[in-house]
Amino acid sequence: MTYHSNMNHICSFCKLECKKEPLDDYADYQDLPWYACDVCNVSYKKKLNIVEVTRFYAKLNDRRYCLNLIHKSQRTQIFRMACNTDEPPYTLILSLPYMVPNINPTNCQDKIITYITFS
């Protein structure tokens, strides 16, 4: 099977088509493209039409965080995103050996707060 960079992705939550994000200077995770749903504030990283990572975003205390569900290894990572260029682009805050259950765009901020606070 061949990887096609023009594959589209439909958001799992709102069922609208996501937009393909350009790779940035900090391209990670095998340099696969991200597909972003601006309606749900969720991004998807795909390889061969299979979602490898689902990313939820939240803003807490003037900082941006993202929660990554890594499907193949069934784990979760929470990162703090940089506010300026003096910081690394992403700082790992928490890594869990399972996928956070029942997360969606509506409850992701509360779940991130809970996991950061009580872990």
d(CA 60, CA 75): 22
Condensed to tens digits (0 to 9), the pLDDT of residues 2-17 reads 344 456 899 999 999 9
pLDDT at residue 1 is higher than 50: no
> What confidence score (pLDDT) does residue 108 get?
96
Residue 119 binned pLDDT confidence (cut-offs 50, 70, 90) = confident
> What confidence score (pLDDT) does residue 5 get?
45
Check residue 18 and report its DSSP letter: P
Nearest to 37 by CA among 14, 6, 63, 71: 14
Structure tokens at 105: 């765009």
